[in-house]
Structure 1
Amino acid sequence: MRYESLAIEGPRLVFPKTYRDHRGYFFEAFKQGWFRENIADVSFVQDNQSLSHQVGTIRGLHYQAPPFGQGKLIRCLRGSIFDVAVDIRPDSSTFGKWVSANLTAAGGEQLWIPEGFAHGFCTLEPDTEVFYKVTNVYSQTHDKGVAFDDPVISINWPIPLNSAVLSDKDRLQPPLSSLR
């Protein structure tokens, strides 16, 4: 496995070493010791999975407020996504800035998003499945979000925003300014 740091301190892109032959491929998707040594000294307590049928489905931007903040390790199992992490740490010099990565089932890339970031993604293929490990359990009371189309954040989503497929919850998320 190897990783690349991104433009904001914290999130990292993780790449598996893939072994391919005539049968297909094999890779180790996660190794606790390697992850703790190279990415973050955390423990994962829950695995989540989503299926999005339509291209252009946007899920996010989501986060959990303390004391239920979550770090997330995201991987695409089928299809591909444009994955985004937005820095929402109030005292950070990169507050409101974002980084992104395309994650594909074929490539096996993973994005580590530490606590203190909002997360969202846009599906690039039909019937896309996303799997992610989290460092804290879900708490409905602490479940929060930020508007995916907030002009202050100005995410360059890969689809026209008026064609985004959204949940009612994601359509009504507050602006980033509500966090300050």
Structure 2
Amino acid sequence: MAAASTQFTAAETAVPGLLTFEVTRVDDARGWFQEKFHQEKLEAAGLPPGFRVVQTNVAASVTGVTRGFHAEPWDKYVSIVSGRAHGAYVDLRRGPTYGTVVEVELRPDVAVFLPAGVGNSYQCLEDVVYLYSVNRHWTPDAYERYTFVNLADPDLGVRWPVPLERAILSDKDREHPMLRDARPMDLPAG
């Protein structure tokens, strides 16, 4: 009998290229097992074939921590190892969907693929271990090419489960510009 394995099922969102994935796991008397990233299976489910992981990072945060919005000039694959978070994403690429927001509950069985230029944020609903992989290495000069937007921008309409006045935010995140004042991200063609 063949061993059971993780499966990935993709869903499109209102932001072009932003995908959510349902990720199964295998449970037995010993505990559970889950593939967080499997190139071949993810591509079969809809992950763009050009996405090649070059760096993976882990962040641990406590309940109420809220991070973002920042859009980077590379693609990102996000998953949760433990806990739950409210993910919010905004299209910050110049074009007709600029400012479009998608909200997702992040759990160990939900992953998200963000194309370059889509702003990422999350709020921890429980203590969270957050895992993300990117297709370009981070460098200090890359930070200059990010686009930032304020988490509290009423034009975005994000329904933060923990009101931002009670959330744990960095000073930088509190000071980002509103969408109307942000610099849209221009990405190279192709």
- How many Å apart are 1:142 and its aligned residue? 2.6
Structure 2 counterpart of 1:151: 154
The answer (yes or no) to whether the contact 2:103–2:158 under 8 Å persists in 1 is no
- How many Å apart are 1:140 and its aligned residue? 3.1
In the alignment, structure 1 residue 61 sits paired with structure 2 residue 66: no
User: Which ranges of structure 2 fall in alignment gaps of 5 or more residues?
Assistant: 1-7, 185-190
User: Which ranges of structure 1 fall in alignment gaps of 5 or more residues?
Assistant: none
Structure 2 counterpart of 1:130: 130
- How many Å apart are 1:151 and its aligned residue? 1.4
Q: Kindly report which structure 2 residues correspond to 1:25-174, keeping only aligned pairs within 5 A, or say none.
A: 25-37=32-44, 38-41=46-49, 42-53=51-62, 55-64=63-72, 69-91=73-95, 93-105=96-108, 108-126=109-127, 128-138=128-138, 139-174=142-177
Residue 110 of structure 2 aligns with an amino acid whose one-letter code is: E
RMSD: 1.6
Structure 2 counterpart of 1:11: 18
Distance 1:9 1:143 in 2: 19
Distance 1:20 1:156 in 2: 33
The answer (yes or no) to whether the contact 2:21–2:110 under 8 Å persists in 1 is yes
Residue 149 of structure 1 aligns with an amino acid whose one-letter code is: A
Secondary structure in 1 matching 2:137: coil
Q: 1:23-72 deviations in whole A, cap 9, x for unaligned?
A: 2212222111233342112112111111112x2211100122xxxx1211
Which has the greater radius of gyration? Answer: 2
Residue 26 of structure 2 aligns with an amino acid whose one-letter code is: Y
Distance 1:100 1:70 in 2: 20
Structure 1, 17-26 or 146-155: larger mean CA deviation: 17-26
Q: 1:113-139 deviations in whole A, cap 9, x for unaligned?
A: 11120000000013x110100122222
Distance 1:75 1:14 in 2: 9
Determine what percentage of the aligned residue pairs are the same residue.
Answer: 28
Moved >6 Å (runs of 4+): none
Distance 1:103 1:170 in 2: 20
